[in-house]
Structure 1
Amino acid sequence: MPPTRILTVCTGNVCRSPLAAVELQHGLDAVSPGGFEVTSAGLHALVDDAFEHRVGALARERGLDADTHRARQLTAQMLTDVDLVLVMAREHLQPVLQLSPRLLKRTFPLREFARVLQYVAGDPALDAAVPADRAERWAWLRKQAPRLRQRVPVRQAERNDVIDPYRRPDAVLEQMADELLEATGAIVAWERRHAERAGTVPPPQGAGG
């Protein structure tokens, strides 16, 4: 069974999108090992650069792999087999769709997508309709999310964005971390909820007789 392929996108691919990618990959691997492949790219990537040093330090503090990342420029080829694109800000939506118009219903701001999942979890009828199988679950979600996004509007449009911390003060970095990690945490929590319901979450490492 092929993994669900998620691509995170920001501007330079050295702060927001790689942090979101490693955070999601780590969290989803713990819940559904081998079920997800999360990568990242930038619309104006600082090609081959590593994590911005402060963001890399944040990732390492969280036990994430921050040493192998190298920034990549987003191309149409990268979007060919992607199941879901999560952009870090509204300004990234149109450039992604210009490269791949077919992804119109599969491209979301990260924070908006997280709110969609929280909405599903809070609606008993929708929650009960979520398939138990991982691949079927995410195929179902891809069909439902485009219409459900209309049910999670925000008064302030910027609440769909993760602020860009690049070359900005540490306070902005902290805001970025709060916004991004809340959203990635909600996505992982949604997958864990349904994997546990299906009885497919592996035992913690070291557990057993």
Structure 2
Amino acid sequence: MPPTRILTVCTGNVCRSPMAAVELDHGLNAVSPGGFAVTSAGMHALVDQGFEERVGRLAHDRGLEAAAAHRARQVTPEILRDVDLVLVMAREHTQPVLQQAPRLLKKVFTLREFARILLYLSTDPELDAAVPADRAERWAWLVQQAPRLRQRVPVRHPERNDVIDPYRQEDAVLQQMAEELFEATDAVIAWERRYAQRRAASGTASSAAG
């Protein structure tokens, strides 16, 4: 069964989107091994550069060894062709993505917006009960449901949909980026863990009953 393919997008592809990608790829596959392929790209990529130095240290401190191999790449129609979900780091990245791949209209979200959708979904009893047990079916269902659920998680201040850009900014901005980004990635990983564990518990119960 093919993995769910997620692309994270920012501007230069040396700070926010690669950090989100390695964090999600590591965390999601720890929960559902082999179930996800998370990659990143930039709208104005600093092509072939690695992580910005401070962000690279942050990734290293979190045990994300894959960060060392990262090289920035430009968003292209070819990269967008086969993805199941695009998580952009800020609202400004949405339209440029859609200009290259209009078919993704209902599959592009900011990372923080998507995290709020998942938090809402898990607290709605009807939706919670409807989440499929199978990983591939679960994420296909999620991507289908998410566009209509975004209307249920509005924010008063639109900038709360963005992860701040720390590139060439002071350390306080880097810290703010880390807080915004990891809060969102943790929510995405926790959502997958919730339903993967539910499936495992259901399977154990069925075996015991048999």
For Structure 1 versus Structure 2, the TM-score category normalised by the shorter chain is over 0.9
How far apart are the structure 1 equivalents of 2:100 and 2:32? Answer: 30
Aligned residue for 2:49?
49
Aligned residue for 1:135?
136
What's the TM-score, normalizing by structure 1?
Answer: 0.95
1:115 and 2:121 correspond = no
User: SS in structure 1 opposite 2:105?
Assistant: helix
Aligned residue for 2:106?
105
Aligned residue for 1:125?
126
**Mapping of residues 133-172 of structure 1, within 5 Å:** 133-172=134-173
How far apart are the structure 2 equivalents of 1:85 and 1:142? Answer: 10
Instruction: State the one-letter code of the partner of 2:86.
Output: V
Structure 2 stretches lacking a partner, 5+ long: 202-210
Aligned residue for 2:205?
none
Which aligned runs of 4 or more in structure 1 are off by greater than 4 angstroms? none
Aligned residue for 2:92?
91
Cα offset, 1:74, TM superposition: 0.5
How far apart are the structure 2 equivalents of 1:141 and 1:21? Answer: 19
How far apart are the structure 1 equivalents of 2:5 and 2:123? Answer: 25
Instruction: State the one-letter code of the partner of 2:106.
Output: K
How far apart are the structure 1 equivalents of 2:138 and 2:12? Answer: 32
Instruction: State the one-letter code of the partner of 2:46.
Output: L
How far apart are the structure 2 equivalents of 1:132 and 1:169? Answer: 44
Aligned residue for 1:75?
76
Identify, as 1 or 2, the structure richer in helix: 2
How far apart are the structure 2 equivalents of 1:168 and 1:4? Answer: 34
Structure 1 stretches lacking a partner, 5+ long: 201-209
User: SS in structure 2 opposite 1:162?
Assistant: coil
Cα offset, 1:29, TM superposition: 1.1
1:26 and 2:26 correspond = yes
User: SS in structure 1 opposite 2:145?
Assistant: helix
Deviations 1:101-137 (A, max 9, x none): 0000000000000000000001011000000000000
Q: How many residues align?
A: 200
Cα offset, 1:174, TM superposition: 0.1
Cα offset, 1:55, TM superposition: 0.2
Instruction: State the one-letter code of the partner of 2:178.
Output: A
Aligned residue for 2:190?
189
How far apart are the structure 2 equivalents of 1:143 and 1:86? Answer: 15
User: SS in structure 2 opposite 1:67?
Assistant: helix
How far apart are the structure 1 equivalents of 2:97 and 2:122? Answer: 28
How far apart are the structure 2 equivalents of 1:120 and 1:61? Answer: 31
Deviations 1:19-41 (A, max 9, x none): 00000001011100000000000
